[in-house]
């Protein structure tokens, strides 16, 4: 059946897994203050790829010996926590993750995952790669590309209430093109920007987990095994202890109970 758009769009029930939280307006839907812990960094997040990239960085910084700690509070986006008034004050876009940096004289908010990663990496002068220009190029490549993988391919392949050939084929083609971009780069480079950097962490959270079979149950469909350089790079990152811890933080879903740590307030929380 052919769809003819109306002259003026109106919101109608579209169904799908996230229909209960999708809306065409910004701003809070209810009053709710955010909790505040004792550490200088207060992270409000969920272990989606965008959340994981930030918690991986936090854990990598701590693993590397940087002397700080952080509280990570669960934001359940399925229940609409991101529309609480306190969260909207930190991130007016109502997306996870969001960070309050309370290490200075005045609290500072940072939202958007790449902005948080840059803030933390620059503040601690770590994981910035051998070339800042190259690292920034790949970091922003991820930010610009992943919406096609997540909101495009992932939505129509895994979450849409009905399967349609055109959008699945359109975004599968783009997902595979992006994997080929990475595979060609990693054929000659161990890491994205010379040394292991926040660009690797950010890209791995999406594309690494995709080729490791953790996103959308789409590994076979996209023939991810054919991107051998990406798979090798993803497995090397996956083996890092800080990455395993970062994957656990703010995870409240999935069948593997050993990977769930809905809230994190100290390194000792992982001992449980």
List per-block mean pLDDT (blocks of 10 residues) for the chain, which spans 272 residues: 90 75 92 97 98 98 97 96 98 98 96 98 98 97 97 96 95 98 98 98 98 97 98 98 98 91 96 83
What tens digit of pLDDT does each residue of 205-262 get? 999 999 999 999 999 999 999 999 999 999 999 999 999 999 999 999 988 898 999 9
Q: Output the pLDDT for position 96.
A: 98
Q: Output the pLDDT for position 2.
A: 83
Both 142 and 231 in a single domain? yes
Both 93 and 140 in a single domain? no
23 in a structural domain: no
What tens digit of pLDDT does each residue of 54-70 get? 999 999 999 999 999 99
2 in a structural domain: no
113 in a structural domain: yes
Instruction: Report which of 149, 152, 143, 214 is spatially closest to residue 179, judged by C-alpha positions.
Output: 149
For residue 173, give the DSSP letter: H
Q: Which domain CATH number covers 251?
A: 3.40.30.10
For 236, phi then psi, to 5°, come to: -65, -40
User: Which residues constitute the domain of residue 218?
Assistant: 132-239
**pTM of the predicted model as reported, rounded to 2 decimal places:** 0.96
How much is the mean pLDDT over the chain? Answer: 96
Q: Output the pLDDT for position 195.
A: 98
Both 104 and 197 in a single domain? no
For 234, other C-beta atoms within 10 Å of its C-beta total 24
What's the rounded Cα separation, in Å, for the pair 98 and 93?
10
Both 161 and 213 in a single domain? yes
Q: Output the pLDDT for position 19.
A: 72
Both 138 and 67 in a single domain? no
Q: How many domains does the chain have?
A: 2
4 in a structural domain: no
Whole-angstrom CA distances from 18 to 77, 82, 146, 252 are 9, 13, 18, 17
234 in a structural domain: yes
Length of the chain: 272
Both 120 and 254 in a single domain? yes
């Amino acid at each position: 059946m052919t769809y003819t758009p109306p002259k003026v769009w109106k919101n109608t029930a579209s169904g799908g897994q996230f229909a209960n939280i999708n809306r065409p307006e910004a701003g809070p839907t209810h009053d709710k203050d955010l909790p505040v812990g004792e550490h200088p960094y207060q992270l409000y997040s969920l272990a989606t790829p965008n959340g994981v990239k930030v918690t991986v960085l936090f854990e990598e910084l701590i693993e590397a010996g940087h002397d700080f700690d952080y509280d990570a509070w669960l934001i359940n986006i399925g229940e609409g926590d991101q529309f609480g008034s306190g969260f909207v004050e930190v991130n007016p876009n109502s997306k996870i993750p969001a960070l309050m940096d309370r290490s200075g004289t005045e609290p500072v908010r940072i939202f958007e995952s790449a902005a948080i990663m840059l803030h933390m990496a620059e503040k601690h002068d770590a994981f910035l790669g051998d070339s800042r220009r190259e690292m920034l190029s790949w970091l922003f490549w991820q930010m610009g590309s992943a919406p096609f993988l997540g909101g495009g391919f992932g939505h129509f392949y895994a979450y849409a209430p009905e399967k349609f050939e055109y959008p699945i084929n359109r975004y599968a083609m783009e997902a595979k093109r992006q994997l080929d971009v990475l595979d060609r780069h990693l054929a000659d480079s161990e890491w994205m920007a010379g040394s292991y950097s926040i660009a690797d962490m950010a890209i791995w959270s999406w594309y690494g987990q995709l080729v490791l079979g953790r996103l959308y149950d789409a590994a076979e469909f996209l023939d991810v095994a054919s991107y051998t350089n990406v798979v090798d790079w993803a497995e090397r990152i996956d083996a890092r202890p800080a990455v395993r811890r970062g994957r656990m933080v703010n995870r409240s879903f999935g069948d593997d109970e050993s990977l769930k740590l809905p809230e994190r307030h100290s390194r000792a929380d992982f001992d449980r």
